[in-house]
Structure 1
């Protein structure tokens, strides 16, 4: 695999081609991590002729260094909160702080789900293969929370699919899913965006347009 990818659409097309060779058990649902994972997931959904859904995750930053993730909150019937206990303790993120930030994150998750899906309920994953897609994985905290959330939705098989990821993070995430498909594992991986020529910030409008353009439920059977 030659890096960098041109953009997220390019990475998604390559990832979709690879997933077609995996012969994943049907029926399939592609689940994107917004916002950056959505353009990648759209191309995957098109390749697999599978519907596209979302699992929304919000990171909780350290008290004095907001970019350093100490926990992540994922949507579902109830919040899924994954805490990096070591980082939280080292940065002074105590239980009261985490509870307050988790509540704020949960409210933002609700706002985004309403904005993106406009009343459409989460897809039923029971008995299906859920393919979780993001534009890349560095530490893995977001993917970890998302995989736990999808497991709660009773997916029969969980597949984690990303264009680029840190090898160490994938090793940890293997315990949480049934299969991982990754196109490139550069050593070292300092930032996902370094492996894309165009890594613009994805806006809400782009997320909504991708969901509207994705295949509908039943596309696999029709194909």
Structure 2
């Protein structure tokens, strides 16, 4: 399956997630590329929009490629600091929306390795959502298998046999900059009662 752009993919994902309309889902975007997509999905499902930034996933092979524990610890600290800074930059005027007892839909523009999505799913799972959903337009089969073990449900529109990069399945796949993310998230400052 080929997508014109992220917005076209988001509309198709929203249609595939239509059963959540009216259930006030919390739609969490993996920054930055998925934020515009998650906005479309949240609007279509009458849900709330939030960015997801808060957990580190270490690939199984990290130590086997020569990474020392000291290096891994330093990298984890550095990544947590980056996530803290992004959170402060993206949504400085409000606290994170609590996913507890809600349907939480974590959106990304695609899964190459699945590591980022797994990190996001772990972060949200720790906050006790009623249901944890991964939603992506496209994924490699390996990534999809890894992610399925970490979500209650996975909605993936396409699992192509010859997957090299997420961007190859989009006609237009521009970078999403911080300013666009900030503008989108600034428009979602009033979460619904859940």
Question: Are 1:34 and 2:8 an aligned pair?
Answer: no
TM-score by length of 1: 0.81
The answer (yes or no) to whether the contact 2:24–2:45 under 8 Å persists in 1 is: no
RMSD: 1.9
The answer (yes or no) to whether the contact 1:8–1:199 under 8 Å persists in 2 is: yes
Alignment match of 2:57 (pick from 51, 75, 82): 82
The answer (yes or no) to whether the contact 1:32–1:133 under 8 Å persists in 2 is: yes
**1:218 Cα deviation after fit:** 2.5
TM-score by length of 2: 0.93
Question: Are 1:218 and 2:192 an aligned pair?
Answer: yes
Secondary structure, in 3 states, of the residue corresponding to 1:81? coil
Query: What does 1:179-218 align with in structure 2 at a 5 Å threshold?
Result: 179-214=153-188, 216-218=190-192
**Distance between the aligned counterparts of 2:115 and 2:32, measured in 1?**
16
- What count of residue pairs does the alignment treat as equivalent? 194
User: Can you list the C-alpha shifts for 1:86-140, whole angstroms capped at 9, x where unaligned?
Assistant: 2x13321111001111111111111110110013111111110000000000110
Query: What does 1:144-163 align with in structure 2 at a 5 Å threshold?
Result: 144-163=118-137
Structure 1 portions without partners, runs of 5+: 57-74
> Which structure shows the bigger proportion of residues in strand conformation?
1
**Distance between the aligned counterparts of 1:192 and 1:209, measured in 2?**
24
> In structure 1, what is the equivalent of residue 98 of structure 2?
124
**1:46 Cα deviation after fit:** 0.9
Question: Are 1:99 and 2:73 an aligned pair?
Answer: yes
Structure 1 runs of 4+ with >2 Å offset: 22-27, 212-219
